[in-house]
Amino acid sequence: MKSPDLFDAEIRVLESARQAMESRDVEAHRAALDGLIREFDRVIRDMRRLINHADRTERELNRANRRLTELTRSLAYRNRHDGLTGLLNRETLIDEAEALLAVQGIALILLDIDHFKQVNDRYGHPVGDRILKDVAGAMRIQAPENGLCGRLGGEEFAVILPGQIGGKALGCAGCIADAIRAVRREGHPGLRVTASFGIAFAAAGTSFDRLYICADDALYRAKHSGRDRIEVVGDCITQS
Amino acid sequence: MDHRLYIPASSNTPEVDFDFAARRLSLRGESYPESAVGFYHEILLRTKAFLATLENDSVRLVIELRYFNSSSTKMLFNLVDELNVAAEAGNQVALDWYHDAEDDTMLEFGQELAEDFPEIDFRTLAIESP
């Protein structure tokens, strides 16, 4: 038996019209034509509905696709950035630093807001969050265009400067320190913010961990020698 | 007379519950079979045979499909055509077209069918999603 076809009904009508045309009977011709006209009419209506439905489905699919693209883009962004400050997050900053270190030397500026716990305790966490955003803003404005700014966690931030540019890193940290000192919060006239800085430089091929430990040592010294200051590891760190 | 045709739903075919004895035919679920013709051929044949036995009778078709592909659409048209033949022959034919309240695409599909088949007592019914 012939397997059924999507257009069985239409094929049958065509077949009977063909048979009728082979006969000499005028009535048969008329009946076949009549059947064809009715069938054609029905096919047009079916097709119109089908195409309308396909168009609507396609539109919906396109909308869903666009939403998905936007969502993917926003997820990719969120995956790389710190939600509060908009700076690069820890993982991304470290990845970027390691990628740079594979081919060139870099400077790492670590900075930690002084007495941040007291800011939160005294003024509340919403004010503390504003301060974190202000510090991020100061970093973004003061860092050079090719600098990478990130939040490592809590009140700890970092700037990575490609190239072993000692003087430039110190200058950049100084500008950020000044901008942080200038932070004011409306309604809290007594609020002053400072940060401590540790800077270290590494040659190409050095691991980020090694550089981070050195910059963190410098930061520790800045904290323990009175805060609101910049400590620098003068020698360029190498892997060996 | 054929009493009932029941096919449980699968991942790509709807539940078919054509209770001919009760004059109530229902299609529920999603329809995108490997071969729409293969799936609907038997259903259409038996429905056509059942409808041919009706005389001053009434029958209700309930369609509650969330999705159907193009070849299933063609088969649905054939099914509605058969019902239309029964309606033109003097039977009372009702079609309940269920669609998700949010799904305008399905609603508009039902409305277009209703326009093309004035002999059929058409209702579009929204299902509120939970």
Q: What is the pLDDT of residue A139?
A: 98
Confidence of residue A2 (pLDDT cuts 50, 70, 90): low
- How much of chain A exceeds pLDDT 70, in percent? 98
Q: Provide the pLDDT for residue A1.
A: 57
Does a structural domain hold residue A85?
no
Whether the model pTM is above 0.90: no
Examine the domain organization and report whether A71 and A103 are in the same domain.
Answer: no
A71-85 tens-digit pLDDT: 999 999 999 999 999
Measured distance between the N- and C-terminal CA atoms of chain B, rounded to whole angstroms: 40
B19: containing domain: 4-127
Q: What are B's interface residues with A at a Cβ cutoff of 8 A?
A: 36-38, 41, 70-71, 73-75, 77-78, 81, 104-105, 108-109, 112-113, 116
d(CA A1, nearest CA chain B) in Å: 13
Res A165 pLDDT > 70: no
Give the CATH number of the domain where residue A135 resides. Answer: 3.30.70.270
Range of the domain at A47: 8-77
CA-nearest residue of chain B to A44? B116
Same domain, residue pair A33 and A135:
no
Please report, for the domain that includes residue B58, its CATH number: 3.30.750
pLDDT, position A164: 66
With CB atoms and an 8 Å threshold, state whether B37 touches A6.
yes
Evaluate if residue A175 carries a pLDDT over 90. yes
- The count of structural domains within chain A is 2
pLDDT at A3: 75
Task: Tell me the catalytic residues of A.
Answer: 155
Under the banding of pLDDT at 50, 70 and 90, the label for residue A238 is confident
- Split at pLDDT 50, 70, 90, the class of A143 is very high
Whether residue A144 is predicted with pLDDT greater than 80 in this model: the reply is yes
Q: Is residue A33 part of a domain?
A: yes
A161 and A61, same structural domain?
no
Q: Which residue from B minimizes the CA distance to A9?
A: B78
Please name the residue of chain B whose CA is at the shortest distance from the CA of residue A46: B77
A185/A169 Cα distance (integer angstroms): 28
Domain-terminating residue out of A48, A77, A106: A77
Q: Is residue A216 part of a domain?
A: yes
- Going from the C-alpha of A115 to that of each of A30, A189, B91, the distances in angstroms are 99, 17, 86
CB contact under 8 A, A49 and B70: no
Task: Find the mean pLDDT for residues A8-20.
Answer: 88
Residue A161 has pLDDT above 60, yes or no: yes
Contacts of B105 in chain A (CB under 8 A): 53, 56-57, 60
Best residue of A6, A8, A11, A62 to probe chain B, by most B CBs closer than 10 Å = A6
For residues A44 and A63, what is the distance between their CA atoms, to the nearest angstrom? 28
**Domain end position, chosen among A50, A77, A104:** A77
Each residue of B18-55: b (16+ CB within 10 Å) or e?
bebeebbbbbbbbbbbeebbebbbebbeebbebbeebe
Q: Give how far B4 is from chain A: nearest CA, Å.
A: 23
Nearest to A4 among B41, B81, B113 (CB): B41
Nearest CA in chain A to B102: A60
A136 and A220 share one domain: yes
Alpha helices in B6-69 (DSSP H): 36-52
**Low-confidence spans in chain B with pLDDT less than 50:** none
- Give pLDDT, residue B129: 77
Both A72 and A108 in one domain: the answer is: no
Least confident of A31-45, A111-125, A219-233: A31-45
Judgement on whether residues A64 and A119 belong to the same structural domain of the protein: no
Residues contacting A77, CB < 8 A, separation 6+: none
What is the reported pLDDT for A23? 87
Domains contained in chain B, number = 1
Return the amino acid letter for A77. Y
The residue of chain A nearest to residue B113, with distances taken between CA atoms, is A49
Do A232 and A143 share a domain, yes or no? Answer: yes
Residue A12 lies in a domain: yes
Q: Domain for residue A64, yes or no?
A: yes
Regarding whether A104 and A217 lie in a shared domain, the answer is: yes
Which residues touch B43 (CB under 8 Å, ≥6 apart)? Answer: B5, B7, B16, B18, B79
A232 in the same domain as A140: yes
Residue A84 lies in a domain: no
- A195 belongs to a structural domain: yes
Residue A88's beta-bridge partner residues?
Answer: A81, A150
| pLDDT tens-place string over residues A35-67 | 999 999 999 999 999 999 999 999 999 999 999
A4/B78 CB distance under 8 A? no
Contact A145, A168 (CB under 8 A): no
Residue A32 covered by a domain: yes
Percent of chain B as helix, strand, coil, to the nearest 5: 40, 35, 30
Same domain, A99 and A62: no
The pLDDT assigned to A9 comes to 83
A168 and A51 in a common domain? no
**B10 to B7, B15, B16, B31, B57: CA distances (angstroms):** 9, 7, 10, 9, 32
Query: Are A56 and B36 an interchain contact pair (Cβ–Cβ within 8 Å)?
Result: no
Contact A57 B36 (CB under 8 A): no
Asked if B41's CB is within 8 angstroms of A45's CB, the reply is no
CB atoms A49 and B116 under 8 Å = yes
Q: Which of B36, B70, B108 sits opposite A50 (nearest CB)?
A: B70
Interchain proximity A6–B71, CB inside 8 Å: yes
Q: What number is the average pLDDT over the span A18-32? A: 89
